[in-house]
Amino acid sequence: TSNKSLLILPGDGIGPEAMAEVRRIVGWMEENRAVAFDVDEDLVGGASIDEHGIPITDAVVEKAQNVDAVLLGAVGGPKWDDLDFSIKPERGLLRLRKDLQLFANLRPAVCFDALVDASSLKPELVSGLDIMIVRELTGGVYFGEPRGIEDLGNGVRRGINTQVYTTPEIHRVARVAFELAKKRGNRVCSSEKANVMESGVLWREEVTHIQQTEFPDVELSHMYADNAAMQLVRAPKQFDVIVTDNLFGDILSDCAAMLTGSLGMLPSASLGDVDETGRRKALYEPVHGSAPDISGQNLANPIATILSYAMALRYSFDMGDEADLVEGAVEKVLASGVRTGDIMATGMTQVSTTEMGDAILKELNKANAQ
């Protein structure tokens, strides 16, 4: 068929709660914008462990390989924390990223005007904030070999992970960052620890090489990752695009999330290469996790997951107008003072996950009627 295909993997904890609101918006698109999606839903993470004993099955990976886009909620939770490392919920997500070769994770941190006061930083520091973190997602210390826990005898054990990058891995993610920068502020800040790590030295040299040979008009700067963390909370608006490795990107993006008011606001897109059929493999997921402390209580902010769906519309389906509609509806709802608990402030109206979904659908209807 020529329908666009979407695989939804709600996962665990607040994942399914937030995803339920996305499904309503997907339904709305079908009814009101004549956008026909073939939507399939399946298990990942703890939900898959409970059903199949493993955090993702080959069948689900296969499905993910063959759809236009995957939308993932969140994985993990205390119920599965004591399982053997190789079958923990998080391994399901890591396998998806690796098997689909989703090497570029785009994590935009945008501060909505209405949420300027929800940030833990002073309003003037975050007002108008618009940064794009490009996190390398299939290499580095997350996947490097050797890895494991060794018994050295005499009660001594050793935990090992290996930080490793090859030049092609650095080149491809750097290109994504430079391409993005060209459509934004034309500036890339590359972050590593070249002062203490050889992989950081290579990273810096190779990012510089790509800039000099392919993107001479894009401004490139370098910053040690510890300084970048500090600069993100000191003066975040100095950044346009940040490109960094898997682990530093994980940490810097949670940090950037808080600049926007809440981790519950940050979407992401994990992109691979374009294949022979012209399709770019892609998985969209919020930056946050399964939030066990609030799950099952209809308290979660669904906006990060909803904005991830908007990113899917934009990047995988070339539906910029529909993405604008969704983002616009979110903006209107926030401006009207409707808030989930994580972004609540005095004078605002606190709502549940489903009520936030209601409010966004209402704004979609209004926008569509105009």
**Residue ranges in contact with ligand NAD by CB under 6 A:** 14, 74-77, 90, 93, 263-264, 285, 288-294, 300-301, 304, 342
Residue number closest to Mn ion, CB atom: 250
> Which of the choices Mn ion, ligand NAD, ligand IPM, none does residue 92 contact, using the CB cut-off of 5 to 8 A by kind?
none
Range in contact with ligand IPM (rule: CB under 6 A) among 86-94, 108-116, 144-152, 300-308: 86-94
Q: What is the CA radius of gyration of the chain?
A: 20
Q: Please check whether residue 25 is in contact with residue 365, taking contact to mean a CB–CB distance below 8 angstroms.
A: no
Which tokens in the block code for residue 185?
Answer: 């502020």
The 8-class DSSP code of residue 142 comes to: G
3-state secondary structure of 14: helix
Q: Where in 254-313 is the site for Mn ion (CB under 5 A)?
A: none
Least distance to Mn ion, CB of residue 239, Å? 19
- Catalytic, 99? Answer no
Q: Does the protein bind ligand IPM through residue 99 (CB under 6 A)?
A: no
94 touches which of ligand NAD, Mn ion, ligand IPM, none (CB within 5 to 8 A by kind)?
A: ligand IPM
Pick from ligand NAD, Mn ion, ligand IPM, none: which does 304 bind, CB < 5 to 8 A by kind?
ligand NAD
Ligand-binding annotation for 40, yes or no, is no
Amino acid at 32: N
Identify the residue among 21, 250, 285, 322 touching Mn ion (CB under 5 A): 250
280 is in an annotated binding site: no
* Distance spanning both ends of the chain, measured CA to CA: 32
Clarify whether 113 is annotated catalytic: no
Q: Does 94 bind ligand IPM (CB under 6 A)?
A: yes
Beta carbon of residue 171, minimum distance to ligand IPM (angstroms, whole number): 22
CA distances 213 to 166, 209, 221, 310, Å, are: 18, 6, 16, 33
250 near ligand IPM (CB under 6 A): yes
- Decide if residue 245 touches Mn ion (CB under 5 A): no
Check residue 47 for interaction with ligand IPM (CB under 6 A).
Answer: no
Q: Are strands 130-136 and 241-244 parallel, antiparallel or unpaired?
A: parallel
Give buried/exposed letters for 106-130 (b at 16+ CB in 10 A, else e): bbbbbbbebbbebbebeeebbeebe
Contacted by 258, from ligand NAD, Mn ion, ligand IPM, none: CB < 5 to 8 Å by type: none
Selected from 93, 102, 181, 228, the binder of ligand IPM by CB under 6 A is 93
Tell me whether residue 78 is exposed, middle or buried, using C-beta atoms within 10 angstroms of its C-beta: 0 to 12, 13 to 18, 19 or more: exposed
Is 296 annotated to bind ligand?
yes
Question: Judged by CB under 5 A, which stretch of 240-248, 249-257, 264-272, 348-356 contacts Mn ion?
Answer: 249-257
Residue span 258-287 as binding mask against ligand IPM, x where in contact by CB under 6 A, dash where not:
-----------------------------x
142 among known catalytic residues: yes
For residues 203 and 284, which CB has a smaller minimum distance to ligand IPM in the complex?
284
Answer yes or no: are the C-beta atoms of 42 and 9 closer than 8 Å: yes
Q: Which helix (H) or strand (E) holds 198?
A: helix 198-214
Interaction residues for ligand IPM, span 289-328 (CB under 6 A): 289
Closest CA to 255 of 121, 85, 355: 121
- Tell me which of 40, 99, 117, 254 is the catalytic residue: 254
* CA separation for the pair 6, 4 (Å, rounded): 7
**Residues forming a β-bridge with 271:** 104, 282
Among 222, 215, 158, 148, which Cα is nearest to 189's? 222
Crossing angle of the two packed helices 353-369 and 320-335, in degrees rounded to 10: 120
CA dist 125 and 48 (Å) reads: 42
Q: What's the rounded Cα separation, in Å, for the pair 226 and 76?
A: 28
Residues in contact with ligand IPM by CB under 6 A are: 76, 90, 93-94, 250, 287, 289
Residues belonging to the binding site are 77-90, 97, 107, 135, 226, 250, 254, 289-301
Residues belonging to the binding site for Mg(2+) are 226, 250, 254
Residues in contact with Mn ion by CB under 5 A are: 250
Residues with a known catalytic role: 142, 193, 226, 250, 254
